[in-house]
Amino acid sequence: MSEWVARDSGQYGAVEQTPHPALRSTLSRGQAEDTAAVLRVVSDPTRLQILSLIHHSDEQRIRVVDLTRALGLRQPTVSYHLKVMNEAGIVSRDPVGREAWYTIVPQRLDMIADLLR
């Protein structure tokens, strides 16, 4: 967050640490493109449900089999959505023995929680 403010302050002049909404700087083209790229990945009902199920699970991690059961979807479908979100740096895949557990990448947790509120 501080980095974000610092990045903009050079371009738009001094910005307060917690700017009044009207004093915030507008998104730059690059920032908007990056944000849109993440939104494109998560703006899908199934992916939101997957993220929500991970977020609300006991250990904040889940297996493909848990998701197929909870969502009533086939394994390839669930795996595909997980792969896309994995490549976008939103979920991470941790193999434990023969099973793979999926978690929301910690740095993304707040941002995903914001979407699911």
Partner 1 sequence: MTALAQQSAREVESHAISVDAATTVAMTLKALAEPLRLRMLSAIATSPAGEITVGELASLTDVSQPTVSHHLKVMRDVGLLTADRRGTSVWYRIKPAYRGAVNTLLDRFAPAAVDVLETPHLVGLKNAEPALDRMAASLTERFPGTPPNECVRVVRESYAALVRRGGTTTHLVPLTEQFARQRIIDAEKAHAQESGAAGARHLPQVLFVCVANAGRSQLAAALMRHYAGDRVVVRSAGSAPAADVHAGVRALLEKLNDSAAADAVDDVTRFYPKPLTDDAVRAADVVVTMGCGDACPVLPGKRYEDWMVGDPALASPAGVAAIRDDLDERVRALLADLVPQTT
Give min distance, CB of 10 to partner 1, in A. 16
Q: Which is nearer to partner 1, 75 or 116 (CB)?
A: 116
Shortest reach from residue 31's CB to partner 1, in Å: 5
Are 81 and 54 a contacting pair, CB within 8 Å? Answer: no
The encoded tokens of residue 97 equal: 């023995």
* CA dist., res. 16 & res. 27, Å (int): 16
Please identify, using beta-carbon distances, which residue of 10 and 45 lies nearer to partner 1: 45
Beta carbon nearer to partner 1, 32 or 76: 32
CB of 35 to partner 1, least distance (A): 4
In the complex, what is the shortest distance from the CB of residue 78 to partner 1, in angstroms, rounded to a whole number?
Answer: 14
> Which CB atom, from 14 or from 96, has the smaller least distance to partner 1?
96
Is the CB of residue 54 less than 8 Å from the CB of residue 60? yes
First-to-last C-alpha distance (Å) of the chain:
20
112, with CB counted inside 10 A (0-12, 13-18, 19+), is: buried
What residues contact 103, with CB distance under 8 A and at least 6 apart? 54, 60, 61, 91, 92, 94
**Site residues, partner 1 (CB under 8 A):** 1, 3-4, 21-27, 29-40, 42-49, 52-53, 55-58, 66, 69-70, 88-90, 92-98, 101, 103, 105-108, 110-111, 114-116
